[in-house]
Amino acid sequence: MRKAILAFIDFFYPPFKGFISQHNFRYLATGGSTWLLGNVVYYLAFHYLFHAEDIDFNLFSLKRETAALAVDFLVVIPYSFLLNRYVIFTHSEVKAHIQLLRFLNLNLVNILLTFAMQKFFIEILGIYPTVSKVVVSVLIAGFSYLYQHYFTFSVKKIKK
């Protein structure tokens, strides 16, 4: 499966060869698929799964956009970890359970940042929730790349 995914991604790599390393291109491609999946899941949850403005769970209630965000993270986090662990950062010498703990730590930070920024963009700036989700996702992406590359999967330089 890894070889098939990489073959598909690498098919699109030649025009970018002079600008970006193959590893970073692969990371951007899988990250882009994660980003796209997250936005599609958010859109579907916001528009089709949750209809009321406040979603009442017996012990607490969530605003519609927050509930959609929760569904988004429940789908995207496992998908992203599997792609990063088994497709992108396969040369990492960090044990799987440590990677998972670090990855979950990053995602907890991302969830908190996303929640805060979503609230700010939607409730303070009045930006439509789906548009806000796209903007916030782009802002979080750079931070996530650095965190994963240098900490979560901490890949050692591969000698050519």
pLDDT for 156 equals: 57
Residues 14-71 have pLDDT tens digits of 999 999 989 889 988 998 999 899 989 999 999 998 887 888 778 888 888 888 888 9
Residues 73-119 have pLDDT tens digits of 899 999 999 998 899 888 878 888 988 998 899 889 988 998 899 89
For residues 23 and 29, give the distance between their C-alpha atoms in angstroms, rounded to a whole number.
10
Residue 72 reports pLDDT greater than 60: yes
User: Taking the model in full, what pTM does it have?
Assistant: 0.76
For residues 65 and 35, give the distance between their C-alpha atoms in angstroms, rounded to a whole number.
17
pLDDT for 127 equals: 93
Residue 158 inside a domain? The answer is: no
Structural domain containing residue 48:
1-151
Residue 110 inside a domain? The answer is: yes
Question: How many domains are there within the chain?
Answer: 1
For residues 1 and 49, give the distance between their C-alpha atoms in angstroms, rounded to a whole number.
31
pLDDT for 130 equals: 83
Look up residue 22 and give its two tokens.
């193959």
Selection from 109, 119, 113 nearest residue 65 by Cα: 119
pLDDT for 14 equals: 94
Residue 160 inside a domain? The answer is: no
Residues 117-142 have pLDDT tens digits of 989 999 999 999 889 988 888 888 87
Contact predicate 80/34, CB 8 Å: yes
- Give φ, ψ of 33 to 5 degrees: -70, -35
pLDDT for 17 equals: 92
pLDDT for 45 equals: 92
Strand 60-63 and strand 54-57: pairing? Answer: antiparallel
